[in-house]
């Protein structure tokens, strides 16, 4: 091993180790907010869920000159009194319903990263036994730009930047030799074409599905990667069930629309089996039609969320045992899990894309005798 690669490896390790400060800092903040006991479950759930602002770090926690480093994001809610917008910084990083924001003659509170409208006359939130507010209700529509939405826009911009730059390179050069960004994305695009689309869908029809497959592959991958960057507070976009639900629904719609006669015949009247079996198989195949996108949805959601939960749980071990002695163990284990997660980001994007391609292939398969 040359000294150059050694140097590079050392630097990589250093950067990874430093980036963990982002994770390690968080529990300390949680402890300061009026609660004596550190609750790892609440901390983890708060991290995995969506939020109204992007909280990056807190300096001098609990002291006079406490400084929160955040990116405030707009809260947009539609209530009985019409559209109301305000900045998430109005809540002053409170998500326990203490800070009351008055806008448009209504009082808003943030209870566990959900905006509630207080009933007229109510001055503070009251809870029932399960911790649900009783004198406040959710607005009719909540179309706030939350941190997940914000991160989605960031990842879309990054994707546009990468791919438009790459496309421009091909326009410029006459000999189509990839260079710069193009030399990075070309092998990936060829991988999606030759390893995913062609074998799964077939030589004649794969071209129609290439734009969709490429889009979901890169979109899921880049969002998985962004979820692992601690300084972005782990905006857990691909571990959000609504996000994976939308992608799975898109796959379901494309599969159903492009289904040919042969595909529907296999669902409603399975060829090549006796009639009682045909009747028996029909409901199973119809359920199977819906289980496929549901399993796509759950797989991506659960894999990415589980990764975040494991890393955060290992980190909160330090604060559960209240000793620094456990820190090396927990940092080492989180580093190990994070490295695995980096591989998982690519594998999950690959699995989602290849299974979508497989379903498209099943939908467009011709009858063979």
The C-alpha atoms of residue 146 and residue 76 are separated, in whole angstroms, by: 9
The C-alpha atoms of residue 165 and residue 155 are separated, in whole angstroms, by: 15
In DSSP terms, 67 is beta-bridged to 59
CA trace torsion 348, 350, 352, 353 (10° rounding): 160
- Alpha-helical segments (H) within 202-274: 206-228, 241-257, 261-268
- According to CB under 8 A, which one of 355, 359, 363, 364 is a site residue for other proteins? 355
Q: State both tokens at 354.
A: 């290849």
The C-alpha atoms of residue 138 and residue 161 are separated, in whole angstroms, by: 37
- Closest to other proteins by CB, 48 vs 254, is 48
Q: State both tokens at 300.
A: 């991506």
Give, as ranges, the residues between 302 and 331 that touch other proteins (CB under 8 A). Answer: 302-303, 306
Q: How far is the CB of 317 from other proteins (least distance, A)?
A: 18
Q: State both tokens at 191.
A: 């991988």
Q: Note whether 110 binds other proteins by CB under 8 A.
A: no
Interface region with other proteins, contact rule CB under 8 A, candidates 12-20, 180-188, 276-284, 350-358: 350-358
- According to CB under 8 A, which one of 264, 295, 321, 339 is a site residue for other proteins? 295
Interface region with other proteins, contact rule CB under 8 A, candidates 70-78, 226-234, 263-271, 293-301: 293-301
- Closest to other proteins by CB, 84 vs 238, is 238
Q: Note whether 346 binds other proteins by CB under 8 A.
A: no
The C-alpha atoms of residue 117 and residue 189 are separated, in whole angstroms, by: 48
The C-alpha atoms of residue 276 and residue 124 are separated, in whole angstroms, by: 64
Local structure of residue 119 (DSSP, 8 states): P
- According to CB under 8 A, which one of 68, 103, 208, 299 is a site residue for other proteins? 299
Interface region with other proteins, contact rule CB under 8 A, candidates 109-117, 162-170, 209-217, 347-355: 347-355
Site string for other proteins, 181-220 (x = CB under 8 A): --------------x-------------------------
- Residues of this chain that bind other proteins (CB under 8 A): 195, 295, 298-299, 301-303, 306, 347, 350-351, 354-355, 358
């Amino acid at each position: 091993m040359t000294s150059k690669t050694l140097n590079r490896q050392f630097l990589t390790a250093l950067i990874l180790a430093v980036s963990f400060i982002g994770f390690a800092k968080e529990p300390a903040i949680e402890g300061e907010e009026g609660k004596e006991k550190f609750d790892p479950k609440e901390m983890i759930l708060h991290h995995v869920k969506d939020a109204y602002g992007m909280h990056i770090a807190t300096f001098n926690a609990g002291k006079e000159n406490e400084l929160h480093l955040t990116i405030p994001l707009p809260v947009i809610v539609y209530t009985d009194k019409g559209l109301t917008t305000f900045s998430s910084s109005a809540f002053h990083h409170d998500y326990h319903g203490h800070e009351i924001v008055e806008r448009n003659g209504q009082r808003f509170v943030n209870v566990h990263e959900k905006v509630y409208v207080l009933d007229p006359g109510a001055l503070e939130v009251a809870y029932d036994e399960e911790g649900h507010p009783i004198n406040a209700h959710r607005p009719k529509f909540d179309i706030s730009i939350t941190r997940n939405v914000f991160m989605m826009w960031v990842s879309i911009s990054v994707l546009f930047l990468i791919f438009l730059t790459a496309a421009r390179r091909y326009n410029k050069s006459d000999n189509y030799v990839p260079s710069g960004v193009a030399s990075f994305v070309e092998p990936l695009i060829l991988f999606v074409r030759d390893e995913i689309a062609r074998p799964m869908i077939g030589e004649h029809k794969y071209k129609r599905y290439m734009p969709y497959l490429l889009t979901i592959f890169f979109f899921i991958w880049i969002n998985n990667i962004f979820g692992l960057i601690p300084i972005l507070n782990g905006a857990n976009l691909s571990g959000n069930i609504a996000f994976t639900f939308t992608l799975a629904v898109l796959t379901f719609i494309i599969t159903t629309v492009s289904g040919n006669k042969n595909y529907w015949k296999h669902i409603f009247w399975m060829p090549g089996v006796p009639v009682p079996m045909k009747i028996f198989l029909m409901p199973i195949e119809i359920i199977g039609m819906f289980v496929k996108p549901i399993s796509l949805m759950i797989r991506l959601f659960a894999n990415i969320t589980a990764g975040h939960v494991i890393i955060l749980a290992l980190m909160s071990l330090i604060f559960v045992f209240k000793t620094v002695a456990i820190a090396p163990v927990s940092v080492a284990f989180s580093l190990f899990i994070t490295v695995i997660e980096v591989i998982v980001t690519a594998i999950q994007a690959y699995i989602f894309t290849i299974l979508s391609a497989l379903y498209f292939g099943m939908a467009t398969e011709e009858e063979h005798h």
